[in-house]
Amino acid sequence: MKTIRIKEPGWVLPLPGFIFKPFTAAIISAVHIYLAVEHLSPLFSGEVTWTNIWKGFGALGGAYVFAALASRQFARQRKESENVKSVFAES
């Protein structure tokens, strides 16, 4: 059976530590959704401008990234708490 190795990237973008807190990432995602609605609603009502297109869909992409980051952190916390509960249950 072949083993697939995934090479880690040699560099990552620096982000402040508070961005990796799940509630902070969820709040940032909500702000991005608000910004996307602010730019996409005029776009869908007929005011087709390049600014509304790139800002609206860009904010939507940012909302997706931060929502994914938040959900990943929430899932990690849930898994860790379940592991702790199972260790105490076995004792």
Q: What is the pLDDT of residues 57-87, one digit of tens each?
A: 999 999 999 999 888 877 777 766 666 555 5
Look at the block and give the residue holding tokens 């929430």: 74
Q: What is the reported pTM?
A: 0.67
> Cα–Cα distance between 17 and 14 in angstroms, integer?
9
> Cα–Cα distance between 67 and 59 in angstroms, integer?
12
> Cα–Cα distance between 23 and 27 in angstroms, integer?
6
Handedness of CA 44, 28, 25, 6 (dihedral sign): positive
The pLDDT tens digits for 26-39 are: 999 999 999 999 99
Quote the tokens at residue 20: 């990796």
